Copies of this chain bind each other. A is one copy, B any other.
Amino acid sequence: MAEERKSKPESLTIWPDAQAMIEKARRDGVKTVWDRMAEQRPACKFCKEGLTCSKCVMGPCRITPGRAKRQRGTCGADADLTVARNFGRFVAAGAAAHSDHGRDLVETLLAVGRGKTRDYALRDPEKLRQVACEAGLDITGKDDATLAVELAQAFIQDFGFGTETLSFLSRVPEKRRAVWERHGVTPRGVDRDVVEMLHRTHMGVDCDPVSICLHAARVALTDGWGGSMIATETSDIIFGTPTPRESLVNLGVLKEDQVNVLVHGHSPIVSEMILAAARDPAMIEKARAVGAAGINVAGLCCTGNEVLMRQGVPMAGNHLMTELAIITGAVDLIVVDYQCIMPSLTAVAACYQTRFVSTSDKARFPGGTHMEFTLENARQKALEVVAMGIEAYTNRQPERVEIPGEPVRFMTGFSNEAILGALGGTPGPLIEAIKAGKVRGAVGIVGCNNPRLKHDHVHTVLCRELIKKDILVLVTGCATVAMGKAGLMVPEAADQAGPGLSEVCRALGVPPVLHVGSCVDNSRIIHLCAVLANALGVDISDLPVAASAPEWYSEKAATIGLYAVASGIMTHLGLPPHITGSDMVTNLALEGLEGVLGAHFVVEPDPVAAANIIDARITAKRQALGLTP
């Protein structure tokens, strides 16, 4: 540990702002994620390879494949089954998280439609109508409120098991649906398939590792084309469909002379209210009264992405920056909803004047202040929360404040509507650019940070390599902050792209790396792929596209990766899930799924090597379509 403590900040992260804050943390005596990881080394080999099982009290068991002893757990499960069961639950939890987030949006939509809340509205009624049509509703003669209720009810059906299909399967190319039908992985109910995975992985239920893995694919698809897509589209209906705009990124967005409020988590439901409260003239007046120049709201992680996409709120950082942002000493209040909020944050906040406020009954944080937000009280609660931030500002200790670096400009807001809008309303021009080889293909770079990898190194190197090869990059989640800080998300970054992509970007005035949203918004990427595939009359797996989660850490990210693969998109991971204890499951992921679902996973920590693998895939797909490589 002492040794690990000495890890140079430059070896942990590529960013000067992060390095400076790691140094400050050490000076301030604050532990960070890297310190805890160092203490956790070496990790348990059994757990790392997916070979432990605590799913009953006949155990716990550990499997040692190939050895004389412990080839099977007490129940008789071997390495393949144990790994598959663990992976199945891992994916189910990811789907559950996204989908339960989607559920909250559906409840909001229902409440708006029924007039049960005054704090939320339908900012994009046009999208409401369009999505309602896609969900198979008859919209004629119906007002927005009625339609909101009916759409919410359709989505509620999607979560249940009373229907045979999900609303958004209408978007899926026919060839893809046939693949799913053939292998029994057509998603059914969002909650049902998740619950069935828990059932299957209970002792003595599904004992076939392949069967469990295929159901994992189905569960993932309920996320991508169900829970996540419902979350995205409903968020757009309620909070507005994003349009391109500019903002700023890195810790430099914090302001020494303002009340700094960070929003963190994944949902726009609370953060939009916080933003509105911070923009309230009375609150700004209140802030001025205590000597602040104003109230500065900035984002972290995906809640940050949500308000960035729709409101242009600057972004303070991604997953590994969340502790470091507080360590600046300049954050007066951090308000969270749920997901990816390190349990350590309350302890870090306690080292400064920072108030930590949780807002959802599902996500309480001992050591923080819990302010339960409901659809009825949200606006009022948000005012109270922001007032807490103003009060905390008065306790700020200037000598402990250090805001590193200058913020970097970046563009955001590239919803599919915005992308297609910029192309004149149809995917035609993009398809032409792809056919002409100017845009050779597209890759979604998504997902988290992981302290096991040098922070944002894999993200940024991979991204630079891809755009050089005329491959358009779409980013979501934590990858956004990486590429933004790297200066790749401004139109001038066209300079760093290959000649074809550069030309297209210049013509449209867009960056070679487009921000499409938060992690539930990966649903925008598969939707766009479906639009392209439908326009071409092919399967998604025929497109020259790929996905990558270079620095992923979470169960959600695994689920996203699997729904990408199950949708026909080869997916790169910078490090493997806990499956390496089973050759069968590992081979299925890395090879076998190609034959079943037309795509597979690639695990490659080296970003240059990963870029080459992705490039080869895109070349092959182009050639199969009869295009130039």
The reply to whether B555 and A69 form a contact with Cβ atoms under 8 Å apart is no
**CB-based contact B554/A56 at 8 Å:** yes
Q: Which of A44-52, A170-178, A437-445, A525-533 contacts B (4 or more CB under 8 A)?
A: A44-52
Known: A36-B73, A76-B344, A343-B77. A552 touches B57 (CB 8 A): yes
Question: Of B40, B56, B362, which one neighbours A555 at CB under 8 angstroms?
Answer: B56
Q: Nearest CB to that of A362 among chain B residues?
A: B200
A202 on the B face (CB < 8 A): yes
Q: Are B59 and A47 in contact (CB under 8 A)?
A: yes
Q: Is A119 an interface residue (CB 8 A)?
A: no
CB distance from A607 to the nearest CB of B (A): 17
Q: How far is the CA of A205 from the CA of B70 in the complex (A)?
A: 35
Q: A56-B554, A450-B57 are in contact. Are A205 and B338 (CB under 8 A)?
A: yes
Contact of A57 among B54, B73, B207, B578 (CB under 8 A): B578
- Could you tell me the distance between the alpha carbons of A346 and B554 in the complex, rounded to whole angstroms? 35
Does A17 sit at the interface, judged by CB under 8 A?
no
Q: Tell yes or no: A553 within 8 A of B by CB.
A: yes
Tell me the bound Cα distance from A362 to B61 in angstroms. Answer: 23
Binary per-residue interface labels of chain A (64-78) against chain B in the complex, 1 for a CB within 8 Å, 0 otherwise: 000001101111111
Question: Is the CB of A184 closer than 8 A to any CB of chain B?
Answer: yes
Q: Tell which of A86-94, A237-245, A590-598 binds the partner.
A: A86-94
Interface residues in A62-113 (C-beta closer than 8 Å to B) = 62, 69-70, 72-78, 81, 86, 89-90, 92-94, 96-97, 99-101, 103
In the assembled complex, the Cα of A553 lies from the Cα of B74 at a distance in Å of 11
Q: Which of B44, B54, B77, B89 contacts A60 (CB 8 A)?
A: B44
Choose from B48, B72, B100, B206 the contact partner of A199 (Cβ within 8 Å): B100
Is A10 an interface residue, CB under 8 A from the partner? Answer: no
Expressed in whole angstroms, the minimum distance between the Cβ of A165 and any Cβ of chain B is 15
| Chain B residues closer than 8 Å to A345, beta-carbon distance | 76
Known: A61-B43, A191-B191. A578 touches B54 (CB 8 A): yes
- Chain B residue, CB-CB nearest to A265: B204
Assuming the contacts A74-B36, A159-B161, A553-B58, asked whether A204 and B341 have C-beta atoms less than 8 A apart, the reply is yes
Shortest distance in angstroms between A283's beta carbon and chain B's nearest beta carbon? 28
Chain A 165-202 near chain B by CB (<8 Å), digits 1 or 0: 00000000000000000001000010110111011111
Tell me, yes or no, whether A365 is within 8 Å of chain B by CB: yes
- A192-B103, A199-B96 in contact; A207/B74 too (CB < 8 A)? no
Which of B36, B48, B58 is close to A37, meaning CB atoms less than 8 Å apart? B58
Complex partner residue of A159 from B81, B99, B192, B211, CB under 8 angstroms: B192
Give which listed residue, B37, B159, B202, contacts A160 with CB less than 8 A.
B159
* Complex CA distance for A209 and B343, rounded to whole angstroms: 11
> Is the CB of A364 closer than 8 A to any CB of chain B?
yes
Q: Which residue of chain B has the shortest Cβ distance to A346 in the bound complex?
A: B207
Interface contact B451-A74, CB-CB below 8 Å = yes
Distance between A376 CB and nearest chain B CB, rounded to angstroms: 15
* Nearest-CB residue, chain B, relative to A197: B96
- Encode contact with B along A568-600: 1 for CB under 8 Å, 0 otherwise: 000000011110000000000000000000000
Closest to A200 in B: B362
The residues of B that contact A76 with a CB separation of less than 8 Å are: 33, 36, 342-345, 347
Counting CB contacts under 8 A, is A208 at the interface? yes
Within the complex, what minimum Cβ distance (angstroms) separates A221 from chain B?
A: 16
Contacts of A211 in B (CB 8 A): 361, 364
Chain B residues closer than 8 Å to A198, beta-carbon distance = 92-93, 96-97, 100, 194, 198
B58 A54 Cβ-Cβ under 8 A:
no
Contacts of A191 in B (CB 8 A): 159-161, 189, 191-192, 194-195
Known contacts A74-B33, A76-B347; decide if A1 and B69 are in contact (CB<8 Å): yes
Across the interface, A69 reaches (CB within 8 A) one of B39, B56, B204, B215, namely B39
- Cβ A199 vs Cβ B553 within 8 A: no
Answer whether A60 and B365 are a contact pair too, CB < 8 Å, given A86-B54, A97-B205, A338-B204.
Answer: no
CB of A55 within 8 Å of the partner chain: yes
Which 9 A-B residue pairings sit nearest by Cβ, starting from the closest?
Answer: A76-B344, A160-B160, A96-B198, A47-B60, A191-B191, A208-B364, A100-B199, A204-B341, A76-B343
| Interchain residue pairs with CB less than 8 A apart (12) | A40-B73, A57-B576, A58-B452, A100-B199, A156-B162, A160-B191, A161-B191, A199-B338, A200-B363, A204-B338, A204-B342, A208-B365
Q: Given A33-B76, A159-B191, 9 other A-B contacts at CB below 8 A?
A: A40-B59, A40-B62, A44-B60, A52-B52, A72-B344, A203-B340, A204-B363, A206-B338, A207-B364
